[in-house]
Amino acid sequence: MQKKFIEFVHHVWPSFIGGRHHKVMAEAFERVASGECKRLIINMPPRHTKSEFASYLLPAWFLGKFPHKKVIQTSNTAELAVGFGRKVRNLVDQENYREVFPSLILQSDSKAAGRWNTSRGGDYFAIGVGGTVTGKGADLFIIDDPHSEQDAKNAEMDPAIYDKVYEWYTSGPRQRLQPGAAIVIVMTRWGMRDLTAQVIKAAAQRGGEEWEVIEFPALMPSDKPLWPEFWPVEELMALKAELPNSKWMAQYQQQPTSDSAAVIKREWWKPWEKDEPPECEFIVQSWDTAFEANNRADYSACTTWGIFFNNATEVYNIILLNACKDRLEFPQLKALVMEQYDEYAPDSLIVEKKASGAPLIYELRAMGVPVQEYTPVRGAANNPNNKMARLNSVSDIFASGLVWIPERAWAEELVDEVASFPAGDHDDYVDSTIMALMRFRQGGFLHLPSDEEEATPSYRRRAGGYY
Give yes or no: residues 240 and 106 share one domain. yes
Q: State the CB neighbour count (10 A cutoff) for residue 278.
A: 18
Tell me the C-alpha distance between 436 and 347, whole Å.
12
CA dist 301 → 370, 419, 433 (Å):
19, 17, 10
| Residue 400: other Cβ atoms inside 10 A | 17
**259 domain residue, yes or no:** no
User: Do residues 245 and 418 touch, judged by C-beta distance below 8 A?
Assistant: no
**Residue 449 resides in a domain:** no
Counted domains in the chain: 2
Cα separation, 332 vs 71, in Å, equals 55
At which of 252, 276, 309 does a domain end? 252
Looking at 220, 252, 284, which one is the last position of a domain? 252
CA distance 333 to 354: 14
Q: Same domain for 371 and 308?
A: yes
Residue range(s) defining the domain that contains residue 65: 5-252
Taking phi over 0 as left and psi of -120 to 50 as alpha, with beta for the rest, 171 belongs to: alpha
Whether 383 is in a domain gets the answer yes
Kindly report the CATH number assigned to the domain that includes residue 236. 3.40.50.300
Identify whether the C-beta of residue 38 lies closer than 8 Å to the C-beta of residue 180: yes
Where would I find the H helices in 126-187?
149-155, 161-171
Alpha helices in 400-464, H assignment, sequence order: 409-420, 428-443
Bridge partners, 182 (sequence order): 140
pLDDT at position 353: 87
Residues 116 and 243 in one domain: yes
247 with 279, same domain?
no
Asked if residue 123 belongs to a domain, the reply is: yes
Q: Are 353 and 373 in contact (CB under 8 A)?
A: yes
Same domain, 178 and 317: no
User: Which class for 112: exposed (0-12), middle (13-18), buried (19 or more C-beta within 10 A)?
Assistant: middle
Strand, helix or coil for residue 47: coil
Same domain, 242 and 279: no
- The answer to whether the peptide bond before residue 225 is cis (omega within 30 degrees of 0) is no
**Residue 25 predicted with pLDDT over 50:** yes
Over residues 216-274, the pLDDT tens digits come to 999 998 889 999 999 999 999 999 988 887 789 889 999 887 655 578 888 899 999 99
Could you tell me if 232 and 225 are in contact, meaning their C-beta atoms sit under 8 angstroms apart?
yes
The whole-angstrom separation of Cα 326 and Cα 428 is 10
Rounded to 5°, the CA angle 159-417-354 comes to 155
Q: Is residue 330 part of a domain?
A: yes
Work out whether strand 39-43 and strand 177-187 pair parallel, antiparallel, or are unpaired.
Answer: parallel
**Would you say residue 25 lies in a domain?**
yes
Interatomic CA distance for residues 214 and 227, integer angstroms: 16
Residues 333 and 189 occupy one common structural domain: no
Q: How many CB atoms lie within 10 A of CB 176?
A: 17
* pLDDT tens sequence across 120-165: 989 999 999 988 877 788 999 999 999 988 887 777 667 678 888 9
Boundary residue ending a domain (211, 230, 252): 252
- pLDDT at residue 381 tops 50: no
CATH of residue 393's domain is 3.30.420.240
Based on the fold, state whether residues 288 and 322 are members of the same structural domain.
yes
How high is the pLDDT of residue 447? Answer: 54
Q: Does the residue 462 lie in any domain? A: no
Q: How far apart are CA 429 and CA 387, in angstroms?
A: 12
Please give the share of the chain, as a percent, with pLDDT higher than 90: 56
Kindly state whether residues 341 and 223 are assigned to the same domain.
no
CB distance 147 to 187 below 8 Å: yes
What was the pLDDT predicted at 440?
A: 83
Do 274 and 321 have their domain in common?
yes
State the average pLDDT over residues 303-312: 93
**Mean pLDDT score of the chain, rounded to an integer?**
86
Q: Are strands 282-288 and 300-310 parallel, antiparallel or unpaired?
A: antiparallel
Give the per-residue pLDDT at 463.
Answer: 46
Distance (Å, whole) CA 312 – CA 278: 13
Do 352 and 315 share a structural domain?
Answer: yes
Count of Cβ atoms closer than 10 Å to residue 270 Cβ: 15
* Within-domain flag for 378: yes
The helix/strand/coil state of 140 is strand
Same domain membership, residue 271 and residue 234: no
